[in-house]
């Protein structure tokens, strides 16, 4: 008696449905992971940070009304002005009121100019965003190019030169590098303007020329860190078994690099870049002073000099939100860059 065994081959439709199911599963895992990161990470950090900001400015505020009115003001005038600003209430009442307005995008008004802090920050934020954007682009392009070249030329003159330059770039103060850039590219060669700012919406070409020097001076130090991290990751990946197998199969080094190892090896370098975002935002303050840019740093400095508490609070809160947003964006990009970890992280 003969038994016939029938083998069923999955149809194209079944295969397509399976792929769609897997995509939905991956999307669900990523959404849950994002929600977990947001709820357990970003939001608590934001709340704690904003509370500390308000607490420190509250303790250091002194008597803003007396500072504004001057020595000739009567105690009654000082009391009335403090009451109009809500400073006569208890600390919990002040904090909850401030937090409620801040969540709605209202950061109050300057004690001395009377202008909306939210509007003033919105006018200056594009300057810092432009500098940081150019710095990130410089860090990615220069860092990845140098890291890849150093890894491909391991032990050679090129590798040693890049290693020395990267070490030097991480030790040179940013303000000194910015001054040298102005001296070389503006005063000596005359290629780029030495200061000022032109909005992107007004003239994109002039915008780029005005932000290249401040952004480039900030981005080089980060590029050096990215290059060193990427070189280390690539050299470790080149020794992996699957890379050796690819070489045995006759694959060229560029194909192995760009087709097999760069995506995973780039993850630590991208993480390094993400950790440098707060440094870039802080360095933008120095760049503003050197290049005469009307950014958040100068706004915060003027607020600190005049004890303008709403201005100080507003700049600090916006900086915290920017750093947390950048960290979330880097985390999402790393999840896309390393798909093998999407469902396990």
pLDDT per residue as tens digits for the range 48-89 = 888 998 898 888 877 777 777 777 777 788 788 878 888 888
What global pTM score does this model have?
A: 0.77
Residue 70 gets which letter from DSSP? -
What does the alpha-carbon distance between residue 275 and residue 272 come to, in Å, rounded to a whole number?
5
Residue 142 — pLDDT band, cuts 50, 70, 90?
A: very high
pLDDT given for residue 343 in this prediction? 41
pLDDT surpasses 70 at 3: no
Close Cβ partners of 197 (under 8 Å, ≥ 6 residues apart): 127, 130, 207, 210, 211, 293, 294
Residue 139 — pLDDT band, cuts 50, 70, 90?
A: very high
pLDDT given for residue 227 in this prediction? 92
Q: Which of 37-46, 94-103, 133-142 has the lowest mean pLDDT?
A: 37-46
pLDDT surpasses 90 at 119: yes
pLDDT per residue as tens digits for the range 11-57 = 555 555 666 666 565 555 555 665 665 556 678 888 888 899 889 88
pLDDT given for residue 279 in this prediction? 81
Close Cβ partners of 279 (under 8 Å, ≥ 6 residues apart): 222
Q: What is the CATH number of domain 125-341?
A: 1.10.3720.10
What does the alpha-carbon distance between residue 146 and residue 129 come to, in Å, rounded to a whole number?
25
Give the burial class of 312: count Cβ atoms within 10 A of its Cβ; 0-12 exposed, 13-18 middle, 19 or more buried.
Answer: buried
Q: Which of 7-21, 118-132, 189-203 has the lowest mean pLDDT?
A: 7-21
Give the burial class of 189: count Cβ atoms within 10 A of its Cβ; 0-12 exposed, 13-18 middle, 19 or more buried.
Answer: exposed
pLDDT surpasses 60 at 135: yes
Q: Is the dihedral of CA 199, 202, 205, 206 positive or negative?
A: negative
What does the alpha-carbon distance between residue 221 and residue 276 come to, in Å, rounded to a whole number?
10
pLDDT given for residue 144 in this prediction? 92
pLDDT given for residue 29 in this prediction? 56
pLDDT given for residue 57 in this prediction? 85
pLDDT given for residue 121 in this prediction? 92
Q: Which of 151-160, 181-190, 235-244, 313-322 has the lowest mean pLDDT?
A: 235-244
pLDDT surpasses 70 at 321: yes
Which 3 state secondary structure label does DSSP give 131?
A: helix
- Rounded to an integer, the average pLDDT of 188-214 is 89
Instruction: Please tell me which residue, 141 or 307, carries the higher pLDDT value.
Output: 141
Comma-separated ranges of CATH 1.10.3720.10 domains in the chain = 125-341
pLDDT surpasses 90 at 114: no
pLDDT given for residue 28 in this prediction? 56
State the chain's mean pLDDT as an integer.
81
- Rounded to an integer, the average pLDDT of 138-155 is 90
Close Cβ partners of 242 (under 8 Å, ≥ 6 residues apart): 260
């Amino acid at each position: 008696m003969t038994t016939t065994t029938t083998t069923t081959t999955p149809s194209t439709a079944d295969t397509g449905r399976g792929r769609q199911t897997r995509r939905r599963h991956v999307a669900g895992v990523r959404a849950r992971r994002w929600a977990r990161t947001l709820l357990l990470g970003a939001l608590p950090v934001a709340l704690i940070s904003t509370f500390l900001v308000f607490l420190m400015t509250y303790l250091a505020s002194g008597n803003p009304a007396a500072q504004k009115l001057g020595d000739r003001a009567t105690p009654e005038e000082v009391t009335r002005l403090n009451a109009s600003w809500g400073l006569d209430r208890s600390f919990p009442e002040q904090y909850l009121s401030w937090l409620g307005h801040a969540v709605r995008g209202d950061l109050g008004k300057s004690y001395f100019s009377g202008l909306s802090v939210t509007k003033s920050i919105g006018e200056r934020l594009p300057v810092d965003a432009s500098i940081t954007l150019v710095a990130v682009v410089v860090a990615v392009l220069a860092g990845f190019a140098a890291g890849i070249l150093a890894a491909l030329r391991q032990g050679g003159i090129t590798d040693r030169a890049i290693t020395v330059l990267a070490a030097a770039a991480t030790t040179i103060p940013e303000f000194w590098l910015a001054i040298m850039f102005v001296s070389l590219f503006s005063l000596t060669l005359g290629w780029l303007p030495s200061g000022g700012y032109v909005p992107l919406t007004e003239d994109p070409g002039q915008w780029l020329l005005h932000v290249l020097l401040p952004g480039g001076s900030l981005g080089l130090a980060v590029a050096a860190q990215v290059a060193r991290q990427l070189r280390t990751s690539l050299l470790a990946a080149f020794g992996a078994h699957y890379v050796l197998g690819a070489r045995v199969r006759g694959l060229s080094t560029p194909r192995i690099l760009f087709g097999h190892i760069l995506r995973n090896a780039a993850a630590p370098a991208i993480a390094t870049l993400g950790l440098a975002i707060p440094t870039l935002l802080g360095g933008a303050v120095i760049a503003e002073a050197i290049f005469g840019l009307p950014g958040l740093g100068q706004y915060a400095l003027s607020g600190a000099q005049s004890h303008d508490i709403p201005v100080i609070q507003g700049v600090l809160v916006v900086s915290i939100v920017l750093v947390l947003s950048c960290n979330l964006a880097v985390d999402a990009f790393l999840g896309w860059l390393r798909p093998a970890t999407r469902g396990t992280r």
